Structure 1
Amino acid sequence: MVIFGATGDLTKRLVVPALYNLSRSNVLPEKFALIGVARSPGTSESWRDHLYDTMKTYVGNPVTEFDIDRIDEPAWKRIADKISYIEGDIGDPGLYEKLRGALDVAEKTRGTEGNALFYLAVGDRLFGPVIDQLGKAKLTDQHEDENGKHRYWRRVVIEKPFGHSLESARKLNAQILRTLHEDQIFRIDHFLGKDTVQSIMAFRFANGLFEPIWNRDRIDHVQITVAETVGVEQRGTFYEETGALRDMVPNHVFSLLSMVAMEPPTSFDADAIRTKNAEVLAAVQPVELSCAVRGQYGAGTVLGKKVKPYRHEPDVAPDSSVETYTALKLEIDNWRWAGVSFYIRTGKHLSKRLTEIAICFKQAPYTAFQYTPVDTLRPNWLVLRIAPDEGISLQFEIKRRGPAVDLAAVKMDFNYNDWFAKEPNVGYETLIYDVMIGDPTLFMRADMVEHGWRIVQPVLDAWAAKKADFPNYDSGSDGPKAADELLRHDGRRTWRPISRPSECKPP
């Protein structure tokens, strides 16, 4: 495994801790070597020591405080003993000759058999140049036997963002496909490494109860929420060029959308699943400006702490029109979903950290209950919780105890931690392991990426042409009020509250 950007934030926070957790779980291959590549001066020993020091902060579960006593020294040693470092500029062809030598050494001393995984933990502007250089150095060539089967493989992991627009995504796809085959490219999205996301297909297709009602006949609408309590922190320069829509929607949110809306695949083979994912995105119509809301956080209080507005963050323009919140209404134009609205929202400095897919079923006829003490029947909700507490809940109506016919909303709740042991996880373990074994199921194909940008490009163009009246929501709130109008315009109530997502609780 070769990491470009070896001294960067992504490497120390996520990639190496994920490798450590794979080692702890005894699934990291014995025939393994880790090669770091970066411009920073250093040696193999200094990089190894740096990674070990940062492990004290980032290994384990990143949302809880780390305890140094939890480091599994033998598990770390299985990685540390196989670490090497190469200093150099990624634009220098000489660097790739050094890398060729390091790969040859790894093959001889570690038994890697020529297999190599190149992880691009670098800025997105460098994706194309690095792959071009790897190709020129023949480091991406795969050796095939007389039957056309790979005797050794070369794979490349590319982080988001994959382009900044439809045009740039198409250019980047064309550029890297001149060097790589599609089956060598793994466009990574850490959202798809979460257990609940991977369980969506099992939940739908392994239970005869749910798949028959997973369509426009029974479902009224779907809400997908990705809410964060953090602001832009020290990423002002990046965020000024990106914004919430580019940063989250074409990759993270659309990955969730395609998983929840896909047709049943003919098998759980990667090609079959990704084809069904792509069909969903191909059926989504480009978003009209009237179906999009943007917001930017002002001052407020988040988790009991006063925070400053976005325009006062480091490296942010004082009159910035970059959105830190976006809400969209999407329509999927196929037989399963025609007429069912999919509402998505994502934002920073909101009231609570929450990622969920909430499915609202059509309301039951009211006539039979018109003389009961309730004002109206509540709809049934099926909620797939992805973060921070992974699980699934179902809300439905029952009769209260007593002689009167009085209805109450109750909830059945499944929590992953109640049923399965919780393992330290940073969200990348499954994905990195899948790259190693060559399983692309959880990675986006070129056509899926381009469909994602096609859907949002009209909104990006319209927003770029007109400055916004910002800020329009307080930090610590659920976002701008205008987002509620997306639902009210369709005769629906409003979004599920982020800070109190449960619609019912025991009396």
Structure 2
Amino acid sequence: MGSVETLEPSVFVIFGGTGDLSRRKLLPALARHFEHGTLAGKCAVVGVSPDTSVNDESYRDLALKALSDAGLDKSAIDQLNENLYFQTIGKGTKDDYAALASRLNDIRKKHDLPQNYAFYLALPPGAVAGVVEGLDGAGLSKPEGWSRLVVEKPFGRDLASAKALNDKLHQHFREEQIYRIDHYLGKETVQNLLVFRFANAIFESLWNRERVHSVEIRVAEDLGVGTRAGYYDKSGATRDMIQNHLTQLLTLVAMEVPTSFEADAIRHEKIKVLKSIAPIDCDRVVRGQYAGGTVDNRKVPGYREEAGVADDSQTDTFVGLEILVNTWRWKGVPFYLRTGKRMKKRLTQIIVRFNDVPVSLFRSKGLALDTADILVLTLQPDEGFSLHFDVKEPGEPFRLKRIPLAFRYKDEFQDMPEAYETLLLDVLEGDQTLFVHAEEVEESWRVYTPLVENPPPLHSYPAGTWGPKEAEHLRVPEGDLWR
């Protein structure tokens, strides 16, 4: 969200450089920036992993395949590969990190770059502590220029582990150096939510308990656990989705107007929302786990039948719950958070249901149509906004019809950046607006730790549905019309 004109030259270092995230997301995002000229002459990219069999040439071959699979053309691939290198970290000893520091110094001199480093940790949680210690010990956390650390979720498993992780990071890097990434915040509709709210008086004047009946934030996935069973069966939907992605969306919906469009001001307001969330009522939480069913006319197994999942697993693959935000603006307005795997289709939406008119003139004519207007913000698969309201159908008899007033990004804009393109550029620009502050992490875990420590019973739901029937009350009324 910064300005490309302020971009300082740097070296971008990917720990886990041969891994899945690097191949699918990070390398393609960086290649597109080289292709567009954003990073041309301003950046070298270094992949890092323990693999001692990989060198610069074989790493460029890996990148060639990954970028070809991502649909990038030869020009983009060539531009990245001209600036792409590999360095093994071996067993992660002091000598290994000293060798890394020396190699980075050689690469930056070759490209005439200053001592500016961005370190992206595309690593399992257990590997983070060793890397930050190694970087600090090699002097890479405090170079002559700047040093930035990008950390992927999970940011802990509960409040205690989140605090321990933050403490570990802060031993070696300052908070202003740390970029905790949530890729949902890089989506255009999420960023546009701030513009939608704070640049358009017509909506901001309605954005309160006097006008809003309820809010639903839903993230539905049609895929199952796939190859992630080892991680997912220890986490579940609450840890994997609710505590981070959906709660981040909630803070953007519920936050007050920041004092400025700066990272600290925006994140301060998000923290205030988290501090205002009431303790969760477990009677207003439904957990579910998918059984076998049909998705896209295809039979799929139940969660406990997936490879790597225990036969008696109690892990939730669906969670629906009610959040109450005790602020002047939102007191009494329920926020429903719903997420699940093996749902009917892939869909991410924020739904705002406004209050009914005080008296409906049209019920006297036998028209029972709901008069509440509904705003739908769609993050995927088709990003955009739509406002649903009632009009009279032409002719007789007198009928009302619900119609959408819609904006779709693809109708107005042709070149939509991927979330990681936006977020990686923000890291290089030093803009933390779309990244999660340490206090946000801890306040979020304050809300959800009681739930993960004492979860309510688990309900089964067939794959290819919208989740357990027991959760139907935890949604915006009429919300099914926009599924």
TM-score, normalization by structure 2: 0.94
> In the alignment, which residue of structure 2 is the partner of 1:8?
19
> In the alignment, which residue of structure 2 is the partner of 1:146?
none
Gaps of 5+ in 2: 1-11
> In the alignment, which residue of structure 1 is the partner of 2:93?
92
CA contact (8 A) 1:157 1:188 kept: yes
> In the alignment, which residue of structure 2 is the partner of 1:475?
463
Residues 116-157 of structure 1 show CA distances to partners (whole Å, capped at 9, x for unaligned) of 0001011011112211111122210143xxxxxxxx100000
Q: Which of 268, 278, 295 is the matching residue for 1:275?
A: 268
Matches of 2:196 and 2:477 in 1, distance apart?
28
Q: Which of 48, 56, 76 is the matching residue for 2:68?
A: 56
Q: Report how far residue 469 of structure 1 moved.
A: 4.8
Instruction: Return the letter of the residue paired with 2:112.
Output: G
Give matches, 1:62-211, under 5 Å. 66=71, 71-89=72-90, 91-143=92-144, 152-211=145-204
Q: Report how far residue 373 of structure 1 moved.
A: 3.1
CA contact (8 A) 1:383 1:392 kept: yes
> In the alignment, which residue of structure 2 is the partner of 1:234?
227
CA contact (8 A) 1:309 1:475 kept: yes
**In structure 1, the residue corresponding to 2:327 is in which secondary structure?**
coil
**In structure 1, the residue corresponding to 2:465 is in which secondary structure?**
coil
Instruction: Return the letter of the residue paired with 2:472.
Output: D
> In the alignment, which residue of structure 2 is the partner of 1:354?
347
Q: Report how far residue 379 of structure 1 moved.
A: 1.4
Give matches, 1:341-380, under 5 Å. 341-380=334-373
Residues 361-381 of structure 1 show CA distances to partners (whole Å, capped at 9, x for unaligned) of 001123522322312433110
1:441 aligns with 2:426: no
CA contact (8 A) 1:186 1:435 kept: yes
Instruction: Return the letter of the residue paired with 1:482.
Output: E
In angstroms, what is the RMSD of aligned CA positions? 1.5
TM-score, normalization by structure 1: 0.90
Matches of 1:214 and 1:206 in 2, distance apart?
13
1:460 aligns with 2:452: yes
Residues 366-407 of structure 1 show CA distances to partners (whole Å, capped at 9, x for unaligned) of 352232231243311001111010000001112222355432
Matches of 1:408 and 1:373 in 2, distance apart?
14
Q: Report how far residue 77 of structure 1 moved.
A: 1.8
CA contact (8 A) 1:381 1:394 kept: yes
Matches of 2:143 and 2:156 in 1, distance apart?
26
Instruction: Return the letter of the residue paired with 1:314.
Output: A
Matches of 1:426 and 1:376 in 2, distance apart?
39
CA contact (8 A) 1:295 1:326 kept: yes
Give matches, 1:397-408, under 5 Å. 397-402=390-395, 404-408=397-401
Instruction: Return the letter of the residue paired with 2:482.
Output: P
> In the alignment, which residue of structure 2 is the partner of 1:501?
482
Instruction: Return the letter of the residue paired with 1:365.
Output: P
> In the alignment, which residue of structure 1 is the partner of 2:5?
none
> In the alignment, which residue of structure 1 is the partner of 2:36?
25
CA contact (8 A) 1:289 1:458 kept: no
Q: Report how far residue 300 of structure 1 moved.
A: 0.5
Matches of 1:342 and 1:179 in 2, distance apart?
38
- Cα distance change, pair 367–189 in 1 and its aligned pair in 2 (3 A): closer
Number of equivalenced pairs: 471
Q: Which of 24, 30, 47 is the matching residue for 2:59?
A: 47
**In structure 2, the residue corresponding to 1:296 is in which secondary structure?**
strand
Instruction: Return the letter of the residue paired with 2:147.
Output: R
Matches of 1:92 and 1:313 in 2, distance apart?
38
Matches of 2:167 and 2:340 in 1, distance apart?
31
**In structure 2, the residue corresponding to 1:98 is in which secondary structure?**
helix
Instruction: Return the letter of the residue paired with 2:66.
Output: T
Instruction: Give me the identity figure in percent.
Output: 40
Q: Report how far residue 426 of structure 1 moved.
A: 3.8
**In structure 1, the residue corresponding to 2:474 is in which secondary structure?**
helix
Residues 318-371 of structure 1 show CA distances to partners (whole Å, capped at 9, x for unaligned) of 110000111110000110000100001011000010001000000112352232
Gaps of 5+ in 1: 60-65, 144-151, 503-507
Instruction: Return the letter of the residue paired with 1:17.
Output: P
Matches of 1:454 and 1:190 in 2, distance apart?
22
Instruction: Return the letter of the residue paired with 1:437.
Output: E
